[in-house]
């Protein structure tokens, strides 16, 4: 335990002092759990996990995330409705008001790494007012060894104070809650929200800026695993596409489920844990996640079965976005350290509710870059309020909300690495076949697993391929353990003319979405577009 004024002044190079504050530095998980229970921040479940609520905000608030606009960032950031600017003066005002607010408060501090490859990792110090938030940081970031803490020198600082609220009329924010990233001073300020995911995604946004721009390391919003022969696979996909499920393969070691970097030597996890959704969780559907929820894990915004300490994972009374955070070592087949080789196979997962995209197809480099920028999936009726029929969803690089640079920057780097290392890129549809949502049926998980296994084992290398009429991707005509008629989506439709019309409609949506990137895209990337 150390004096807060000394530590904050040293870390942040400020003259402002926090008087009589106390910092509890690098407490163990059991100590943090005791602190959280003492502070009435949560409750223990029957399996020993800490249940906590995030308050008013049960998810990220992307319209309240700002990047300080200064001499370094004004020409490098992809400004727009993803990356919102805030002035240096507003940052300074909020920063010092937060420090004033923290006078006489107890803080929980943690030293951690972001990035399993020591050549590219960030040394982070996080300050929290909530003990369970500090446990979240222990779980989600990489944990230094005891000897690495002796001379730990943080080069990025996070201050997370949910109780502190901004004044929009004075502070340049949209509301009382905010996340502000200062890339020059290397500080992240979070206030007015207790949603822990803002901490994790704040650092992901920082790495998405520093690594590609300064190190030519591709940062990726993906999961990754590695086989017994050292073959690494990467899975990209938006929510609902099966990214977590398909990367959790009992025959392969998990590298990570969300954030990775790709160097000239291999890939590395940015994190030391997993932050998984748990709505409707069951041991049958997600055994790895189910078993990882034990003492030391956190579950957010869930509720108990009546008169028990057993979690009711079907309960939606707080939010659909119920989550768990646990360290990677809670996963039985996780690899440590979380490093992989150069990927041999990359899978773009989409849940196409229009029933158009083939269940598996191979992409050439132009198509891979085009689909990487597109980041396509579809929402289906009932998943969100106001969604009554399938809707296209595009998120650049499968993570637009976390991209400080223009998407074509990441796509060009992706394309170069793909060509340099001769990587196979597959587009996999985990969505509908035989017709759109409401007519067709969802692709069987067993078929999708069989197709991915076939690709990983090289069993699709020498089969015959057919070029898709609209999207021009290469569709394998044979795949072990998958009925042949499933592979060509047009053949599964009763009305094949209706399929052609729906395919043209979806292609037009792709082209319309890509208009915002076209001016910055190379001819090589544009060559990957479908034919409307």
Rounded distance between C-alpha atoms, residue 389 and residue 260, angstroms: 34
Closest CA to 149 of 118, 113, 107: 113
Helix (H, G, I), strand (E, B) or coil at 368: helix
Helix (H, G, I), strand (E, B) or coil at 88: helix
- Residue 221 is among the residues annotated as catalytic for this protein: yes
**Pairing status of strand 311-312 against strand 232-237:** unpaired
- Residue 243 is among the residues annotated as catalytic for this protein: yes
Closest CA to 478 of 501, 495, 444, 455: 455
Catalytic residue among 258, 379, 392, 406: 258
- Residue 239 is among the residues annotated as catalytic for this protein: yes
Quote the DSSP letter at residue 518.
H
Contact (Cβ atoms closer than 8 angstroms) between residue 191 and residue 165: yes
Closest CA to 452 of 431, 427, 484: 427
Rounded distance between C-alpha atoms, residue 274 and residue 140, angstroms: 6
Catalytic residue among 200, 201, 260, 362: 201
Question: 185: which residues sit within 8 A by CB, 6+ positions away?
Answer: 12, 68
Quote the DSSP letter at residue 464.
-
- Residue 258 is among the residues annotated as catalytic for this protein: yes
> Quick one: tokens of 502?
């729906």
Contact (Cβ atoms closer than 8 angstroms) between residue 72 and residue 157: no
Rounded distance between C-alpha atoms, residue 411 and residue 400, angstroms: 12
Rounded distance between C-alpha atoms, residue 370 and residue 353, angstroms: 20
Distances (CA, A) of 278 to 311, 351, 355, 502: 10, 19, 27, 34
Catalytic residue among 90, 143, 200, 243: 243
Question: 415: which residues sit within 8 A by CB, 6+ positions away?
Answer: 365, 368, 369, 524, 525
Rounded distance between C-alpha atoms, residue 475 and residue 490, angstroms: 12
- Residue 201 is among the residues annotated as catalytic for this protein: yes
Catalytic residue among 125, 143, 221, 362: 221
Sort 99 into a burial class: Cβ within 10 Å, 0-12 / 13-18 / 19+.
buried
Catalytic residue among 60, 90, 125, 143: 60
Longest C-alpha distance within the chain, in Å? Answer: 75
Catalytic residue among 73, 219, 244, 492: 244
DSSP E strand stretches across 105-148: 106-114, 122-128
Catalytic residue among 9, 43, 239, 453: 239
- Residue 323 is among the residues annotated as catalytic for this protein: yes
Catalytic residue among 24, 90, 143, 323: 323
Contact (Cβ atoms closer than 8 angstroms) between residue 55 and residue 162: yes
Contact (Cβ atoms closer than 8 angstroms) between residue 82 and residue 400: yes
Distances (CA, A) of 83 to 77, 269, 530: 8, 24, 29
Active site amino acids: 60, 201, 221, 239, 243-244, 258, 323
């Amino acid at each position: 335990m150390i004096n807060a004024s000394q530590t904050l002044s040293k870390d942040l190079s400020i003259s402002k002092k926090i008087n009589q504050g106390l910092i509890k530095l690098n407490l163990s998980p059991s100590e943090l759990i005791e602190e959280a229970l003492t502070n009435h921040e949560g409750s223990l479940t029957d399996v020993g996990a800490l249940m906590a609520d995030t308050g008013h905000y049960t998810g990220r608030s992307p319209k309240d995330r700002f990047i300080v606009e200064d001499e370094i960032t004004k020409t490098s950031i992809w400004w727009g409705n993803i990356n919102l600017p805030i002035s240096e003066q507003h940052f300074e005002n909020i920063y010092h008001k937060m420090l004033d607010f923290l006078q006489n408060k107890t803080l929980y501090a943690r030293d951690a790494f972001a990035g399993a490859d020591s050549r590219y990792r960030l040394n982070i110090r996080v300050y929290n007012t909530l003990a369970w938030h500090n446990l979240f940081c222990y779980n989600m970031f990489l944990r230094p060894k005891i000897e690495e803490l002796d001379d730990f020198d943080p080069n990025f600082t996070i201050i997370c104070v949910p109780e502190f609220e901004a004044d929009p009329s004075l502070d340049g924010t949209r509301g009382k809650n905010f996340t502000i990233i200062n890339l020059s001073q290397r500080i992240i300020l979070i206030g007015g929200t207790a949603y822990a995911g803002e901490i994790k995604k704040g650092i992901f946004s920082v790495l998405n800026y520093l690594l590609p721009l300064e190190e030519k390391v591709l940062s990726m919003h993906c999961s990754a695993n590695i086989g017994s022969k050292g073959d690494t696979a990467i899975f990209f996909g938006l929510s609902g596409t099966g990214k977590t499920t398909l990367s959790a393969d009992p025959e392969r070691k998990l590298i990570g489920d969300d954030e990775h970097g790709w160097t000239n030597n291999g890939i590395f996890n940015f994190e030391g844990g997993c932050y998984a959704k748990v709505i409707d969780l069951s041991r049958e559907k997600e055994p790895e996640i189910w078993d990882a929820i034990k003492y030391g894990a956190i579950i957010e915004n869930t509720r108990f079965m009546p008169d028990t300490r057993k979690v009711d994972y079907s309960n939606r009374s707080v939010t659909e976005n119920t989550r768990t955070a646990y360290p990677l070592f809670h996963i039985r087949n996780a690899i440590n350290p979380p490093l992989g080789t150069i990927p041999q196979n990359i899978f773009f997962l989409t849940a196409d509710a229009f029933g158009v995209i083939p269940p598996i197809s191979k992409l050439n480099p132009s198509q891979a870059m085009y689909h990487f920028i597109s980041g396509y999936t579809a929402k289906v009726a009932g998943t969100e309020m106001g969604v009554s029929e399938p809707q296209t969803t595009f998120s650049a690089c499968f993570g637009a909300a976390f991209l400080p640079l223009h998407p074509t920057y990441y796509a060009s780097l992706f394309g170069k690495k793909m060509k340099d290392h001769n990587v196979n890129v597959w587009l996999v549809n985990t969505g509908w076949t035989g017709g759109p949502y409401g007519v067709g049926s969802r692709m069987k998980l067993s078929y999708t697993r069989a197709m991915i296994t076939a690709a990983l084992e090289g069993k699709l290398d020498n089969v015959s391929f057919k070029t898709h009429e609209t999207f021009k991707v290469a569709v394998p005509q044979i795949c072990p353990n998958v009925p042949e008629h499933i592979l060509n989506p047009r053949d599964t439709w009763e009305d094949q003319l209706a399929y052609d019309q729906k395919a043209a409609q979806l292609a037009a949506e792709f082209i319309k979405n890509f208009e915002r990137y076209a001016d910055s895209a190379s001819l090589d990337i544009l060559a990957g577009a479908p034919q409307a």
